[in-house]
Amino acid sequence: MNNFIERLLAAQYCTLLFSKDFSEGAIFGFECNDGWANLIEATLRLTRQHAEPKALDVKVTQAKEKFGQLRIYHSGSDEIIGSVFEIAQLASGCICELCGNPGEVVSLEGWLVARCGKHSARGHLDPIEAHIADEKYITSYVKAVNLMLSFFGEGAVLWVQQERTAFAGRRPCEMLATGEGCQTIFTFLNRLEHGVGV
């Protein structure tokens, strides 16, 4: 991940990423490309939201790509925050690690990687645009996952993995790749929560 994005995340989420000796301009060392930056920020925001009221001292010890998915290793969490990280892992496999567009895990030159159609070709030559934080996506993702956790608790991890008739057979983890998909999940669960027929 490029240093500019690293520094922004480090400054905003320093309590999750560093011990007390954090210095301005420090970088954490995310071992993935920029396409997952919005997903990482949404995950850190969710983690902080759940950790602070319970006074949990959650620390992210490593974040990297492994087998085409984002793996976030951590300490000091509870079951709900553990679910936040597991959902991010599942969603990452549906987001291109290079550009952030919807994608899937594919085998590329013997490696499992998360790529969109544009970046799944061997030796692709298309330039990667500079990453711009997408606050609308981040906010939609946070709202959707918060409602999933409220509705299903630890069962949210299983729920996002299974095809859902309400979403035309799509898995919620695929839908978490876009702001529109996140909003669809939120609207569906919000209606269920309030007893409105869907």
Q: What is the pLDDT of residue 178?
A: 97
Domain range summary for the chain, segments of one domain joined by +: 3-193
* C-alpha pair distances (Å), 157 with each of 53, 87, 116, 138, 176: 22, 6, 23, 19, 13
Other C-beta atoms closer than 10 Å to the C-beta of 85 total 21
Mean pLDDT, the chain, integer: 91
The predicted-structure confidence for 82-112, as pLDDT tens digits, reads as follows 999 999 999 999 999 999 999 999 998 889 9
Q: What is the pLDDT of residue 2?
A: 85
**128 or 62, which is more confident:** 62
CB-based contacts of 125, cutoff 8 Å, min separation 6: none
CA geometry: angle 87, 93, 94, nearest 5 deg: 95
pTM score of the predicted model: 0.92
177 pLDDT more than 90:
yes
Percent of the chain with pLDDT over 70: 92
198 pLDDT more than 60:
no
Q: What is the pLDDT of residue 103?
A: 95
46 pLDDT more than 70:
yes
Which helix H or strand E contains 160, and what residues bound it? Answer: helix 156-161
122 pLDDT more than 80:
no
